[in-house]
Structure 1
């Protein structure tokens, strides 16, 4: 067998990485487009009140939302809002408070919701062992 002149084998250190870069860029674009679509929020028309802002802590708060039609959702840290019943709310928040009793708990209620729905949420939170509940508002627009 004869060797051909000029024919060289590529050493392993010369791997072509261009296809890998192309795949990485395509994946980056896909993640950039889909990431904003993954966050679902609940529209709540908060009442506008002039009040002092609360001190921010390093612990992500538990936010209980009472929507305009009286439904409850809960958001723990950066997790999106999950619909819950008052009993599920109490169980979920009780577990959070057992793990970290310093977790701040906030209630944001739609301005058009019946007062009884907000009181039901606050009663569930007190039953879960929350010592202090904050109410969320929006500063007045000028």
Structure 2
């Protein structure tokens, strides 16, 4: 009998990829969770009201005004001229363009007024204001 038992010291015919696939699936799940968690938009402290309705519709454009006065269109920072140009472009594609204005409770009224003035100039009549519902 030889010193080698049958099957020992022979090269592998195939590689076991199961641990590699387990790692790939875990990385995929982590990537999905991190991506969805980071795409929530700009956080603001919305003013509170007693009644709130869901104003979001398909193709609704969201304008956000932070407490510092920064303006965002769909989570992208814009200045007033860029905001007007992009809204005009969207209005051309969709004449009944709905817009949702999400302003921080501490935002300067002047900024909110300027955004509403742009909407009025572009004849955007479907404008919703986002607020938080007061408990009680």
Q: Which range, TM-score by smaller chain?
A: 0.7 to 0.9
1:104 paired with 2:98, answer yes
What does the per-residue CA deviation read over 1:114-141, in whole Å, with 9 as the maximum and x for residues that have no partner? 2111000111222233123111111002
- Residue correspondence of structure 1 range 36-47 to structure 2 within 5 A: 36=36, 38-39=38-39, 41-47=41-47
Q: Is the CA contact 2:56–2:100 (under 8 Å) kept in the aligned structure 1? A: no
2:95 matches 1:137: no
Classify 1:102/1:42 alpha carbon distance in 2 versus 1 (closer, same or farther; 3 Å).
same
Choose which of 88, 93, 106 in structure 2 pairs with 1:94: 88
Counting matched residue pairs gives 128
Instruction: Give, in angstroms, the shift of residue 24 of structure 1.
Output: 4.8
After superposition, residues 21-60 of structure 1 pair within 5 angstroms as: 21-22=21-22, 24-25=24-25, 27-36=27-36, 38-39=38-39, 41-54=41-54, 57=57, 59-60=58-59
Q: Report if aligned partners of 1:70, 1:113 keep a CA contact under 8 Å in 2.
A: yes
The runs of 5 or more residues in structure 1 that have no matched partner are 1-15, 76-80
* Partner residue in 2 for 1:118: 112
Q: Cα RMSD between the aligned structures?
A: 3.0
Deviation (angstroms), 1:72:
0.5
